[in-house]
Amino acid sequence: MPPFPSPRAVADFSDRLLAHDLPELPADRRRAAVDFAGRRIEGLPSPVRIGVGLVAATTSGLGRLAGPGRVVRFAARRPVPVLSEYVRLVRSLAYAFVWETWPDTAPDGTPAATAP
Amino acid sequence: MTLGRALQADVLVIGSGAGGAPTAALAAEAGHDVVVLEEGPLVRQGEVVPFSLEQMGRQYRAGGVTPALGLPSITYTEGCCAGGGTEINSGLYRRPPVEVLTRWGLDDDAVTEIYAICDEVEKELSVQTVPGAQLPASEALRRGAADLHWRHDESPRWMEYPAGPAAWQGRRRSMTETYLPRAEAAGARLLTGHRVDRLIFDASRAVRAEVTTADGTPTTIDFRDVFVCGGAIQTPALLQRSGRRRGIGRTLAVHPTVKLTARFDDEVNVADDVPVHQVKEFAPDLSFGGSASNPGLVALALSDAWDRFGPAVTDWRHLAVYYAAITSVGRGRVTAVPGLRDPVVTYRLTRRDKQLLGQGLARLGLLLLEAGATEVYPAYRGAPVVRRPADLATVRATFSAGRASVMTVHLCSTVPFGDNDTAPAHPSGLLKATTNVWVNDASLLPDAPGVNPQASVMAVAIRNVRQYLEARR
């Protein structure tokens, strides 16, 4: 039985959301944050994981119809019930990871300036 | 230690936290053959940084991402390791107030007994106030409350401090440092990585636990008596999976909290400890305190209004996170669903609860401005940056619990004791309609005590296991 939610659907959404929120976050850091969020979502309690899986599948389907970038931009800005909980979940995990790992990251994701 | 074969025990203790660890220690010291089953791993103090994501990954259930579903959902945390929640919480300690014990139906003698046990626990766990300097974030809380003439105090903690230290240099006297070693010294066997899937009953008597080890090996344990101490979520879920549902899991009580971040001119951030001052001016309905504030948690607390609050994150050394906690009249449910490994957890805040959360956030903001905060960032979508008391009017006008990140760490009352027909457990902890199943953890408390519940849990658990041992003599 394939994993649910689909790790790829979660990763695609998380990656686009972080690229939207933190546009200057380097790709390798974004990938690490997306991986972290994916692992924690995989470990959610089973009823919650099923709910997240349904939302992830829906956003993924909508993305195929309307374009994944549009769906993520909409989700990031509009507090749509249930969908906004998914956005909050991914954001919470990813932001906590980014700032715990690289505390002096700027709010747009720019890494701290390297000391001369 | 793991095993793949059947075991036997006089007394099986399921869970090793604030209820299970003292239960195991006292039963083993009384000469019983005790097995303690713990689902999570053993992680020694010092192996992980407190409040870090690594700690959440290793010692929290589901990595710390456990929501009670509702409008809004409430994020809660559960320990899943040897020592349970005592390994991951803030170590704050409050005796249950006498009015709470009376509300729970305890008579004068029982109240006296509970406080005598509190004396013992306080000695065992070295409960004390900080002998040296306070965290700057804690001092800010004290200063703000004092300036407003609001009632406040320092919550004692179960910590040992070397001579003349600051708060963050203490060592926690959690269950892996106290009651679990006592239990093992008296012969108890602690098996980590063992999840109990269900209890098997022969009429009213539980006779066997079906267990799965961390590597997926099934096994069983036969026992004479069992104490279920898995905490307010796992205990009712296990009992329901075992076919016991009457009155179980329907009355989950929590202390919901909302948070804000405050910015000061001075550096206030300490990543691996929490403030110990608490403000009780509006208790028991409302209380204020400080939260863990490592940079990751600061970013998390700012994330609800990142467009406005995000720029502050670069100044995290000057930021600290605080909470307003309420005594909720809402209730939640824990429901084991066939085919699902984990229970469905729901919680419904009442209108009064939601209003109180908003009031709490505004009052906490006022306190921190009074303490010298230059900016305050309340954690809800659309929140304003608060720079002066007049801005709090906007908080009152725009706060909605549905937009807020509501959290809790105090979960209780899912198998409450009581003499009435609806309570699923007797005051002794014995599960009704059974002859040898005791519940001995936070599930048993009749409602949320309005203060940190660990002392209440330990005192009730110790009282119950002593009654059990006396009856077995």
Distance CA B85, CA B72 (A): 24
Closest CA to B271 of B92, B59, B51, B79: B51
Closest CA to B401 of B421, B377, B424, B382: B382
Q: Tell me the pLDDT band of B167, cut-offs 50, 70 and 90.
A: low
A47, A88, A106: residue with CB nearest B314: A106
Instruction: List, for residues B254-272, the tens digit of each pLDDT value.
Output: 999 999 999 999 999 998 8
Contact residues on chain A for B62, CB-CB shorter than 8 A = 40, 43-45
Distance CA A45, CA B442 (A): 20
Q: Quick check: B299 contacting A, CB < 8 Å?
A: yes
Distance CA B256, CA A29 (A): 34
Instruction: List, for residues B226-236, the tens digit of each pLDDT value.
Output: 999 999 999 99
Q: Tell me the pLDDT band of B77, cut-offs 50, 70 and 90.
A: very high
Q: Tell me the pLDDT band of B168, cut-offs 50, 70 and 90.
A: low
Within 8 A by CB and 6+ apart from A66, the residues are none
Asked if B229 and B19 touch (Cβ cutoff 8 Å), the reply is yes
Beta bridge partners of B380: B404
Q: State the nearest Cα–Cα gap between B345 and chain A, in angstroms.
A: 9
Q: Quick check: B66 contacting A, CB < 8 Å?
A: yes
B53, B69, B340: residue with CB nearest A96: B53
- Cβ-in-10-Å burial (0-12, 13-18, 19+) of B412 comes to buried
Q: Which sequence positions of B are flagged as catalytic?
A: 410
Omega prior to A5 cis, within 30 of 0: yes
B57, B303, B314: residue with CB nearest A91: B303
Instruction: List, for residues B108-122, the tens digit of each pLDDT value.
Output: 999 999 999 999 999
Select the more confidently predicted residue: A97 or A3.
A97
Q: What global pTM score does this model have?
A: 0.95
Asked if B457 and B18 touch (Cβ cutoff 8 Å), the reply is yes
Q: Quick check: B69 contacting A, CB < 8 Å?
A: yes
pLDDT at A37: 97
CB pairs under 8 A between A and B: 91
Closest CA to B91 of B254, B232, B276, B259: B276
Percent of chain B exceeding pLDDT 70 equals: 98
Determine the angle formed by the axes of helices B351-370 and B136-148, rounding to 10 degrees. 100
Q: Quick check: B295 contacting A, CB < 8 Å?
A: yes
Q: Respond yes or no on whether ipTM tops 0.90.
A: yes
Q: Tell me the pLDDT band of B132, cut-offs 50, 70 and 90.
A: confident
Contact criterion met (CB < 8 Å) for B343 and A95: no
Distance CA B203, CA B197 (A): 19
Instruction: List, for residues B452-466, the tens digit of each pLDDT value.
Output: 999 999 999 999 999
With 50 as the cut, is the pLDDT of residue B57 above it? Answer: yes
Among B168-182, B211-225, B383-397, the range scoring the smallest mean pLDDT is B168-182
Distance CA B216, CA A98 (A): 33
Q: E strands of B95-252, at which residues?
A: 127-128, 152-154, 157-160, 171-172, 189-192, 194-202, 205-213, 218-228
DSSP state of B354: H
Q: Quick check: B297 contacting A, CB < 8 Å?
A: yes
pLDDT at B163: 76
Instruction: List, for residues A46-104, the tens digit of each pLDDT value.
Output: 999 999 999 999 999 999 999 999 999 999 888 888 899 999 999 999 999 999 999 99
Closest CA to B303 of A43, A4, A111, A98: A98
Asked if B16 and B24 touch (Cβ cutoff 8 Å), the reply is yes
Q: What is the pLDDT averaged over residues B284-291?
A: 96
Instruction: List, for residues B394-432, the tens digit of each pLDDT value.
Output: 999 999 999 999 999 899 999 999 988 899 999 999 999
With 50 as the cut, is the pLDDT of residue A116 above it? Answer: no
Distance CA A14, CA A3 (A): 17
Asked if B353 and B258 touch (Cβ cutoff 8 Å), the reply is no
